[in-house]
Amino acid sequence: MAIAAPQPRVLADAIPTAWVRNIALVVGAAAFVALCAQIAIPLPFTPVPLTLQTFAVVLSAGVLGSWRGAAAMLLYAIVGSLGAPIFFLGSSGFGGVTFGYVIGFIVGAWVVGRIAERGATRTFWRAVGLMVIGNVIVYVFGTTWLAVSLQWDAATAITMGVLPFLVGDAIKILVAAGLLPAAWRLVRKADPTA
């Protein structure tokens, strides 16, 4: 005798839970990056502020994987480009001298997520390497855009768009790389098969 699946009682019951979870994760990660963008310190010698965005990007991508991580950063870029005040310190709009970093978030999230899918977030040192790769990708896109926007040579773009942030990014990388293996330990405690 076959047991019939219960019929949906309301429309929300007909929505597959995996899609709801994925949408919530993507929106949540985009919101996390937007929140971290508001924790910013403008630096007087460069148009690039010190923020927690790269921390949020690499951590989110390490948790979400490639397509959800990239989708979250794409959502962040689109919503901010359309005028929502979610870029650093409430700024918004397409373009601007720091928009290359936002593009780098998308590419970096996909790469970090793809490598994370192969187990790179389960140990501290592998997670550190993963986070370094993500930051380098963000820097490449950000400084290239910065150089083109301001007509700077490569040395000036690196001096203004990378060097002032290396120490802070190293700290953010260490924190993010520590959080991911710790989260995996909690997951394994709850489910030893994970």
Per-residue pLDDT of the chain (194 residues; tens, 9 = 90+): 555 556 666 656 666 788 889 999 999 999 999 999 999 999 999 999 999 999 999 999 999 999 999 999 999 999 999 999 999 988 888 888 999 999 999 999 999 999 999 999 999 999 999 999 999 999 999 999 999 999 999 999 999 999 999 999 999 999 999 999 998 888 888 877 76
In whole angstroms, give the CA distance from residue 78 to residue 73.
9
Q: Which domains does the chain have, with CATH numbers?
A: 21-190 (1.10.1760.20)
| Residue-wise burial string across 67-87, b where 16 or more C-beta atoms lie within 10 A, e elsewhere | ebbbbbbbbbbebbbeeeebb
Q: What angle do CA 56, 168, 63 make, to 5 degrees?
A: 25
Q: Is 97 helix (H, G, I), strand (E, B) or coil?
A: coil
Q: Which residues contact 47 (CB under 8 A, 6 or more apart)?
A: 97, 98, 146, 150, 160
Q: What SS3 state is found at 158?
A: helix
pTM: 0.89
Give the Cα separation of 116 and 110 in Å (integer). 10
pLDDT at 50: 93
What pLDDT is stored for residue 15 in this prediction?
A: 65
The C-alpha atoms of residue 61 and residue 106 are separated, in whole angstroms, by 10
Dihedral, CA of residue 79, residue 83, residue 86 and residue 90, to nearest 10:
180
